[in-house]
Amino acid sequence: MNIPTINTLDSLRRHVQYALAVEHFTVPPYLCALYSIPEDTNREATSVIQSVVMEEMLHMVLVANLLNAIGGKAKLNHPSFIPTYPNYLPHSARDFQVSLGKFSRSAIATFMRIERPEKTDAPPEGDYFHSIGQFYAAVRDGLKYLVDQEQKHGGERVFSGDSALQITREYYYGGAGVITVIKDLETAEHAIREIVDQGEGRPGEVFNDDNDKEVRGPGMRQPDQLEPTRQEPAGTHAGGYLEAQHHKNFSGEEEPAHYYRFQELFEERYYQAGDTPETGPRGPELPLLWDNVYNMRSNSKASDYAEGSQIRRKLDGFNHCYMRLLDGLQSAFCGKPAEIVRAVSLMYEVKERAVELMRIPSGDGDTTVGPSFEYVPPKRDPGGSQALS
């Protein structure tokens, strides 16, 4: 067996922690785009982005389970884990930056770059990767190599973690996919496949299903099922009141992978049965109103506003809420799995605070403040319980 770039247990644990950072890195940009869309507008875009965020949260759980299984320890709630934006994907080739900003064509184009499929001849790469699939291929190869060394040459035990630290299905908050309890190479590879299949998809395929069929299921919107479900008010765009059945309740069944969901938005056209990555989406139009958003100022920072000002208090309050969410995930991944339920419930408060910030003028042209997703040290929430009143 060839020696891969990840060839020690310490290196493997370090790279799986990197994977946790990569998965988390995508969530704030996706949420900013999502929360910049006013309620009851661009409903299909809302459905798409929300479905992707839910799956990114699942990916964080799967990566934490893998890290615990190999004897590592997740580290989320500290300054070095929290990125500042704009920034590059952690440990990537640094060929593009990601910003926090409103829903826009340019944002969706960036999201497509994040989720882009691995090239056919791309080698596994644990550092300086061009696609997330390359990175996970390197983690997978490291796992296989170290298990081989353990079994044939008496190397270190790879899956030495405490099974009590695993997040199991009973604690799952909903969303696409299934939590995998990781205990050996087979379950680890299964979890990695789920992460990659949901993100960039399987080679040569658009839809992410278990039967290898590029078809829409009976509960998903078909080309002949695109009639509005109720009369649209004058002035709304066609399809504005379509039910979001295309991404059916984040079931994860027969969904396009993340890259192709974002491509549908960018091209304003659905994929349909028979379409391939080479053809692109050839189904019905998916009309969007790109200007019907809160005009969030890109990469807002709390330090842009004077201490004690109302905006600064709102931003600090948001960031404390965000940190409480990460604190909860930290506890869940480190021995208190039931904490994941409480942590994920904080997403509702994160949303309320973020949408409030989306509506507040920034004082910089016609932009609004928007959330900043910054690290703040533990202390009393300056926004307090009255922050949203």
> Are the C-beta atoms of 261 and 271 separated by less than 8 Å?
no
pLDDT for 149 equals: 95
pLDDT for 172 equals: 64
Residue 191 domain-assigned (yes or no): yes
Residue 142 domain-assigned (yes or no): yes
Residue 33 domain-assigned (yes or no): yes
Mean pLDDT to the nearest integer, 163-190: 86
114: pLDDT strictly greater than 80 = yes
Mean pLDDT to the nearest integer, 95-108: 98
Residue pLDDT, tens place only, 352-379: 999 999 999 999 999 999 999 999 987 6
Residues 197 and 301 in one domain: no
- pLDDT confidence bin for 133, thresholds 50/70/90: very high
Residues 187 and 310 in one domain: no
The CB-side HSE value for 259 (13 A sphere, CA atoms) comes to 25
pTM of the model: 0.87
The CB-side HSE value for 315 (13 A sphere, CA atoms) comes to 25
Residues 301 and 176 in one domain: no
Residue pLDDT, tens place only, 44-93: 999 999 999 999 999 999 999 999 999 999 999 889 999 999 999 999 99
Residues 256 and 200 in one domain: yes
Mean pLDDT to the nearest integer, 285-312: 96
247: pLDDT strictly greater than 80 = no
- pLDDT confidence bin for 294, thresholds 50/70/90: very high
Residue 4 domain-assigned (yes or no): no
Domain of residue 173, CATH code:
1.20.1260.10
Residue 284 domain-assigned (yes or no): no
95: pLDDT strictly greater than 50 = yes
Residues 37 and 152 in one domain: yes
Residues 256 and 363 in one domain: no
Residue 138 sits in which domain range? 9-231+249-267
Which residues, including other chains, have CB under 8 Å from residue 375's CB and lie 6 or more apart?
Answer: 78, 79, 82, 319, 323
**Hunting for tokens 């395929």 — which residue is that?**
205
257: pLDDT strictly greater than 60 = yes
Cα dihedral: 23, 305, 356, 240 (round 10): -70
**Which of 72-76, 92-96, 337-341 bottoms out in mean pLDDT, i.e. has the lowest?**
337-341
Mean pLDDT to the nearest integer, 116-125: 89
Residues 75 and 219 in one domain: yes
Residue 277 domain-assigned (yes or no): no
CA dist 382 and 348 (Å) reads: 19
**Mean pLDDT computed over every residue of the chain:** 86
How many domains does the chain divide into?
2
Residues 306 and 220 in one domain: no
Which residues, including other chains, have CB under 8 Å from residue 13's CB and lie 6 or more apart?
Answer: 67, 70, 71, 72
Residue 1 domain-assigned (yes or no): no
Is the alpha carbon torsion for 242, 248, 249, 255 positive or negative? negative
16: pLDDT strictly greater than 50 = yes
Residues 303 and 176 in one domain: no
Residues 109 and 253 in one domain: yes
- pLDDT confidence bin for 176, thresholds 50/70/90: low
Residues 26 and 109 in one domain: yes
pLDDT for 208 equals: 63
Residue 239 domain-assigned (yes or no): no
The CB-side HSE value for 219 (13 A sphere, CA atoms) comes to 11
Residues 180 and 254 in one domain: yes
208's enclosing H/E stretch is: strand 207-208
